Amino acid sequence: MNSPSEPPPDIRIGTSGYDYPEWKGIFYPKALGRKEYLGAYSEAFGTLELDFPYYGTPKPGDLRELMARARKPMDFSIKANRALTHKIDPAAWKDGVDEFAKGIGPLHEAGRLCAVLLEFPSSFRYRDDERRYLDKALKALSAFPLVVEFRSAQWFNARVIDGLKERRVGLCSVDLPRLEGLPPLADLVTSDAAYVRFHGRNAAAWLSGDAGTRCEYLYSREELDAWVPRLEAMSTQAKTLRVYFNNHRRGDAAANARQLMALAAAAKLV
């Protein structure tokens, strides 16, 4: 929690992923080469959530190259590999942790790693096996600043919250369609790192299970405006606050991130 000698909370807003050719002509200039995307991104946003490590374990060289491509200072959050969250193999996940840790090492050593996000699917419920696994996984990754995102409402209980506070692990606040079984509208800062993800409110697409269109949604100004006091309250409890938009279709994420930055600036949050 903040103390008087500490600087004000570091609040940054960005997107989940940046390497989207469909953003060309919308967010990136039409003539921009793909290798220049990150440089252009860094001029607009001070933080980026990298989602490619979710699909494949990153190599140390990949992240060194990424850092070099940023034209302006920025930090990164990393979505943990799916072998640690969605496709957990009881026999092999520990090896996966070692490989993952090695891969993100350069970012961490450079002081540019904001958080490792463990996004658990809705099938990851509050049951004994899952609770034991979560405890082990958080211990195995404890060298890094950690944030967990649950998609099952069952995890929103006092025992889990106390456990996260004890382990100094952040609880991700999510903006999702309001559907039964999904997490409720809720914010709680459980570590020095507050973290928010916007997935869009496309309830029909969410239910259809189509990963491509699930996050197809453009937030309205009013919807984003309602988040400003939430961010303000969270910022009083945390040292860092990172906000990422995952509604990346058609560049909506970048447009909404810019809008929210303007609203936060008007409220003197950033």
Partner 1 sequence: MGSGTILHVNAIGIMAAIEEIRDRSLRGRPFVVANALSPRAVVLDLSPRAHREGLRRGMVLPVARDLCPGVEVRPPRPGLYRAAEEALRSVGLGYTPLVERAGSGHLFIDLAGTRRLFGAPEDAAQKLRGRIMEETGLSPSIALSSNKTVSKVSTRVFRPAGFVALSPNEESSLVRMQPVGLLPGVGTALLGRFGLLGIDTIGDLADLSESEARAIGPRGPELVAKARGIDSSPVDPEPPERRAVAGETVFEPDTTDPEVLGLRSGAIVAELAFALRKDGLGARRALIELTYTDGLRVSGSAGAARILARDDELLSLALAALERARKRRVRVRRLELKLTGIESAGPELDLFEPEDLRLSRLQSALDRIRGRFGFAAIEPCSFLAARA
Which residues here bind partner 1, judged by CB under 8 A?
1-4, 126, 153-154, 156-159, 161, 178-180, 184-189, 222, 226, 229-230, 232-234, 236-237
The answer to whether the CB of 214 falls within 8 A of the CB of 184 is no
Residue number with CB closer to partner 1 (99 or 187): 187
Q: Distance between CA 118 and CA 75 in Å, rounded? A: 18
Least distance from partner 1 to the Cβ atom of residue 258, Å: 22
Q: Which amino acid is at 227?
A: W
DSSP letters of 215-228? T-----HHHHHTHH
The conformational region for residue 25 under phi > 0 = left, psi -120 to 50 = alpha, else beta, is left
Q: Distance (Å, rounded) from C-alpha 246 to C-alpha 16?
A: 5
Cβ–Cβ under 8 Å, residues 129 and 120: no
* Shortest reach from residue 3's CB to partner 1, in Å: 3
The tokens 């949604």 sit on which residue?
217
CB of 125 to partner 1, least distance (A): 11
Cβ distance to partner 1 smaller for residue 91 or 158: 158
Residue among 73 and 184 whose Cβ is closer to partner 1: 184
Measured from the CB atom, is 242 or 249 closer to partner 1? 242
State the minimum distance, in angstroms, from the CB of residue 182 to partner 1: 9
Report d(CA 184, CA 172) in Å as an integer: 12
> Shortest approach of partner 1 to residue 160 CB, angstroms?
9
Q: Which is nearer to partner 1, 154 or 213 (CB)?
A: 154
Tell me whether residue 54 is exposed, middle or buried, using C-beta atoms within 10 angstroms of its C-beta: 0 to 12, 13 to 18, 19 or more. buried
